């Protein structure tokens, strides 16, 4: 029975987000049509150094979703303190931690928060400390590198 309610919840979330996606985003199922794997296309917000870029984010919904949080990873390289600078592209997002995520949490809120982090990174919760330090100490250099990576990869 848990699988049925899980599938219903995922279908409901997908429909809601597809019909009313967060600003600068669109959502689709992965190529195999698996409801547990979503592809989110993110346009860099105009008020960020990522403006003009087109990013792909993967959302994996675990079998015990919504009791466990989704896993969000960037498929497009991005120069950002809250995204791991490796081939995994894992995003450090407080609300997606086991202790923070609740079954009542909305995936649309998490996606909206991604956009907000593109505008204003959370350097106190950074996964890439050197980028966070640069953001705090030399914003001009951070913006220059973020724009270059956006041009090169997105």
Helices marked H in 29-153 — which ranges? 107-119, 129-137, 139-153
Task: Judge whether 92 counts as a catalytic residue.
Answer: yes
Query: How far apart, in whole angstroms, are the C-alpha atoms of residue 101 and residue 35?
Result: 20
Handedness of CA 77, 136, 52, 82 (dihedral sign): positive
Q: Are 150 and 80 in contact (CB under 8 A)?
A: no
Any bridge partners for residue 39, and if so which? Answer: 28, 58
Residue 20: is it exposed, middle or buried by C-beta count within 10 angstroms (0-12/13-18/19+)? exposed
Catalytic residue among 92, 110, 132, 154: 92
What's the alpha-carbon Rg for the chain, to the nearest Å?
16
Active site residues: 92
């Amino acid at each position: 029975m848990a699988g049925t309610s899980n599938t219903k919840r995922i279908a409901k979330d997908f429909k809601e987000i597809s019909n009313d996606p967060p600003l600068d985003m669109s959502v689709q199922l992965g190529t195999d049509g698996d409801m547990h794997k979503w592809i989110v296309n993110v346009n860099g917000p105009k008020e960020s150094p990522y403006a003009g870029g087109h990013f792909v984010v993967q959302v994996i919904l675990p079998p015990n979703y919504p009791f466990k949080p989704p896993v969000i990873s960037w498929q497009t390289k991005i120069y950002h303190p809250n995204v791991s600078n490796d081939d995994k592209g894992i995003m450090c997002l407080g609300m997606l931690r086991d202790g923070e995520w609740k079954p009542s949490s909305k995936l649309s809120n998490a996606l909206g928060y991604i956009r907000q982090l593109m505008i204003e990174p959370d350097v106190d919760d950074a996964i890439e400390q050197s980028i966070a330090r640069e953001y705090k100490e030399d914003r001009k250099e951070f913006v220059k590198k973020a724009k270059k990576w956006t041009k090169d990869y997105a």
